[in-house]
Amino acid sequence: MSKTDLNERIKTFLNSALKKISAKDYDSALERLSAAEALDKDNPEILYNLGICYCRKKLYNSAITYLKKVRGLPLTFVDVLTVIKMLSYSLIMANDYDQAKKHIDDGLNISKDDTVLLNMRGYIFEKENNYAEALNTYKFIIDIDKNNSNAYNSIAYIISETDSDLDEALSHARNALKYNPENPAYLDTMGCIQMKRGQIDIAKRYLKKALEKVPDSKEIKDHINRLLKINPDSNE
């Protein structure tokens, strides 16, 4: 097969895979990308899209394998920050926080005000129960982006869970919902805060709406069960 024919076959597989990814048909996309990989195992665009597909399928260890390969290659088709973000996210979902932090730091060395990377760093601090650093990180995000709903919600949730200033938590939760009023995580946070404030009917309304949006959420169900223990009459 000539080099021109080879490149055309790779291009055909890749273009077809990208269409399948757009249609969220990740299994079909993986078939085409694997065929392309067999023809060019060091193509960063192919490897990156394999990483995307595995990440979307929640097969994070496979995603990490491919995204690490991409990081080791000269990037011509894929932006390095994009790769770092996807790799960091996959590592977080695989509970490998130490490795995720290393890649996040690499990304922040390139773009110190990248709010996606900063939000991931804040999330890791939360998971490590380092609430002071998590709050510092989220507040820094708001200094950069006054409309960052995720940072507002995270601050509200941490303050509420650590039994700090519930009025401050409420203010941040309202800001989160102002920018993204239908987000179930934000509705859940508001419900939890209102429950701690003793506003049972308001809490019930927010938690019920959150559960309607993600009916399989164990976390939201746990919060509703907590509400029911406080006030059994809420089970209506």
The residue written with tokens 């595995």 in the block is 54
Kindly report, residue by residue over 155-167, the tens digit of the pLDDT. 999 999 887 799 9
Q: Is residue 143 part of a domain?
A: no
Residue 235: per-residue pLDDT: 57
Share of the chain above pLDDT 70, in %: 96
Assigned domain for 210 exists: yes
* CA atoms in the 13 A half-sphere facing the CB of 36: 27
pLDDT grade for 187, boundaries at 50, 70 and 90: very high
Q: How far apart are CA 68 and CA 71, in angstroms?
A: 5
- Residue 76: pLDDT above 90? no
129: in domain? no
Domain hosting 161: range is 152-236
For the cut 90, the answer to whether the pLDDT of residue 176 exceeds it is yes
Who's near 47: CB < 8 A, 6+ residues apart? 37, 66, 67, 69, 70, 73
pLDDT at 61 over 60: yes
Confidence of residue 230 (pLDDT cuts 50, 70, 90): confident
Is residue 211 in some structural domain?
A: yes
Q: Spell out the residues 6+ positions from residue 118 whose beta carbon is closer than 8 angstroms to its own.
A: 108, 137, 140, 141, 144
State pLDDT tens for residues 17-39.
999 999 999 999 999 999 999 99
Whether residue 193 is contained in a domain is answered as: yes
Average pLDDT over residues 136-159: 96
Q: Residue 78's pLDDT is what?
A: 77
Average pLDDT over residues 101-108: 97
For tokens 């809420």, name the residue.
234
Is 144 within a domain?
Answer: no
pTM of the full predicted structure?
A: 0.87
Residue 16, pLDDT score: 96
Domain count, the chain: 1
Q: At 169, which CATH number? A: 1.25.40.10
For residue 173, is it within any domain? yes
Residue 228 lies in a domain: yes
What is the average per-residue pLDDT within 64-71? Answer: 96
